[in-house]
Chains A and B, each alone.
Chain A
Amino acid sequence: AQTVTQSQPEMSVQEAETVTLSCTYDTSESDYYLFWYKQPPSRQMILVIRQEAYKQQNATENRFSVNFQKAAKSFSLKISDSQLGDAAMYFCAYFIYNTDKLIFGTGTRLQVFP
């Protein structure tokens, strides 16, 4: 079965601090992509960062970076210098290239305190 697991239903962080959201996945595919999406109260999913499975180098996007451990099937998101606007639901997802399936985890609610 192809699954995505986010074991932290809720996380909190103080403004300007760093927080890490965890994600593990299970797949037998070799060609896939991994994503972190942010969903604010407006409900619109916004892509935060993307990682190609064939790349060993961890992706970074400004204050957002990932720790991709392919053998362990782990894909955590680190948010540095957290801002109030980072508060949202965060979903880990993976995309199976040969089937176009985009599968989501159950999400982590991130609260940011001033």
Chain B
Amino acid sequence: EAGVVQSPRYKIIEKKQPVAFWCNPISGHNTLYWYLQNLGQGPELLIRYENEEAVDDSQLPKDRFSAERLKGVDSTLKIQPAELGDSAVYLCASSPSRAHGNTEAFFGQGTRLTVV
């Protein structure tokens, strides 16, 4: 079974440019998370989806960040315009419905963004 797939693995852009990250969760997983991981820190939640609904986006900087999960499967995270401080690793994770009693989140390999 394929794991969580993220692309690209690396992205270098100039400040003020837009950038988008893509995530394909594990098939059948209803819950999808986007996390931001700064260097030397633990991941911090940006947004969580249950199917196509964003149920927790309280930590998403909505002035420049947006996300979508239109059909409740894959998801994109966008930054426009990017700032130097956005340089970080962006991790996507998915988990099955809690109705199945499973709380484990499976992570992708992340996208390392460098803004210059």
Contact = CB atoms under 8 A, between A and B. Distances in A.
Interface of A: 4, 33, 35, 37, 42-47, 50, 91, 93, 95, 97, 99-107
A104 B44 contact: yes
Given A100-B50, A102-B45, A102-B105, 17 more contacts: A37-B107, A44-B3, A44-B107, A45-B43, A47-B104, A50-B103, A95-B103, A97-B98, A97-B103, A100-B56, A101-B45, A102-B33, A102-B93, A104-B43, A106-B40, A106-B41, A107-B41
B110 A104 contact: no
Contacts, number: 57
A103 B10 CA distance: 25
B108 A44 contact: yes
B45 A44 contact: no
Interface of B: 3, 31, 33, 40-45, 48, 50, 55-56, 89, 91, 93, 98, 103-110, 112
Nearest to A96: B103
Contacts of A45: 43, 91, 93, 105, 107
A60 to B, nearest CB: 17
Contacts of B33: 102
A50 B101 CA distance: 13
A44 B65 CA distance: 23
Given A43-B109, A47-B104, A50-B104, A100 B31 contact: yes
